[in-house]
Amino acid sequence: MGLIIDPAGAASSAPRTPGLDAQPLGSAVRTNDLSVTGVVGTRIEAAAPPDGSNVTLVLVGDIMLDETPGAVIARGQDPFAPFAAILDGADIRIGNLECVVATSGEAEPGKPYTFRAHPRTLEPLKRHFDAVTLANNHSGDFGPGAFGEMLGLLDQAGIGRFGGGADLAQAHRPLIVERKGLRIALLGYDGFLPRSFEAGYDWPGVAWGEDEQVARDIAMARTAHQADLVIPVMHWGWEHETIANPRQRQLARLMIDAGADAVVGGHPHVIQDTEQYRGRPIIYSLGNFVFNGFSEASNNTGWVLRMELDGQGVRRWRTLVARIDAEGIPHPDPAGGGDCWERGQEAAAPCGGE
């Protein structure tokens, strides 16, 4: 794909998820219960939260709501309940929705695993998440029609979405979440085949992580969308590899050079290493979160990432260890664990004092 699309160019057709989307300038915007911003006729100014008042962003890895997690929801249980306190205590909660949520479509022929969750699964999702990235290798499992149905269901449920959309321009447009005066742009990209899930000029699908396009999207998030912080959420890497591959490292650095404040990824079904590049964190893979069907302990261990953000970027981050049970439901590890990092630190280290 040699063409560069302009995500700002089609802003008028942006999804209008209440409280979660880029809003036109000059309009009064009530983003959510936590922040009221904007005055009619004035520009929304980026006010960094006062000292000591950070915005907390929680990110989790793969959420797959078909199969046993879907059955857990069908019988009235909430797969996110064990992490409710951590999720609900954050200002922004984000996950990777690793399935399509729809009733329509046909499974992609020849694809070894295809996941389609019932629309009822959006009820618990909505309870604990503000938005999901759709940029992954399963959101297109039942074709573009089912993907399009999911977009409507997410919008109806009031769950924000990014990394995918009704067309290519929308798939590359950031979701702007504003909390405590801080405008955070979330972008999502898939880098794992099949590329046939990619959105086109007039059909729905995911955003694909091409160097030049990603760099442009990040720049546009700051200019056209007035974001204070930009965080790409990636779907990449080799499955079951605990160390990020050269392509992940190259693209992560390119994104930070282009202005990203942090890069967070998933897909390998295991946790991967982390690094700081130019003082900005890269968490290569959070692993699974809600996912059944794995027998190895490494696949049934995921990270919940909690970041504290301020006007300068990520002030500190830590991971919390999730142990995933046989039904694919995550539970906080009673032994604690996880890695911690603070601005200025060279590398993350195991969290102490637990």
Residues that bind Zn ion (CB under 5 A): 136-137, 267
Least distance in angstroms from the C-beta of 235 to Zn ion: 6
Question: Phi then psi for 117, rounded to 5 degrees?
Answer: -100, 150
Are residues 307 and 290 in contact, defined by beta-carbon separation less than 8 angstroms?
no
Taking the least distance from each CB to Zn ion, the nearer of 64 and 305 is 64
Give the 3-state secondary structure of residue 142: coil
The two three-digit tokens of residue 57, written as one number: 């962003």
Least distance in angstroms from the C-beta of 222 to Zn ion: 28
Least distance in angstroms from the C-beta of 266 to Zn ion: 7
Taking the least distance from each CB to Zn ion, the nearer of 80 and 291 is 291
Least distance in angstroms from the C-beta of 177 to Zn ion: 23
Taking the least distance from each CB to Zn ion, the nearer of 136 and 170 is 136
**Which residue is closest to Zn ion by CB?**
267
Taking the least distance from each CB to Zn ion, the nearer of 44 and 206 is 206
Give the 3-state secondary structure of residue 265: strand
Size (the chain), residues: 354
Taking the least distance from each CB to Zn ion, the nearer of 83 and 289 is 289
Instruction: Report how far residue 188's alpha carbon sits from residue 163's, in angstroms, rounded to the nearest whole number.
Output: 4
Taking the least distance from each CB to Zn ion, the nearer of 16 and 240 is 240
Least distance in angstroms from the C-beta of 11 to Zn ion: 29
Taking the least distance from each CB to Zn ion, the nearer of 258 and 290 is 290
Give Cβ neighbours of residue 81 (< 8 Å, ≥ 6 apart). Answer: none
- Rounded to 10°, the helix 211-223/246-257 angle is 30
Instruction: Report how far residue 273's alpha carbon sits from residue 49's, in angstroms, rounded to the nearest whole number.
Output: 30
Taking the least distance from each CB to Zn ion, the nearer of 303 and 341 is 303
Instruction: Report how far residue 351's alpha carbon sits from residue 258's, in angstroms, rounded to the nearest whole number.
Output: 30
Residue 66: count of CB within 10 angstroms of its CB:
23
Least distance in angstroms from the C-beta of 98 to Zn ion: 6
Question: Phi then psi for 315, rounded to 5 degrees?
Answer: -85, -40
* Of 330, 340, 289, residue with least CA distance to 59: 289
Are residues 230 and 222 in contact, defined by beta-carbon separation less than 8 angstroms?
yes
Least distance in angstroms from the C-beta of 192 to Zn ion: 6
Quick one: DSSP state of residue 36? E
Least distance in angstroms from the C-beta of 195 to Zn ion: 14
In order, the DSSP letters of 161-200 are: EESEESSHHHHTSPEEEEETTEEEEEEEEE-SS-GGGB-B
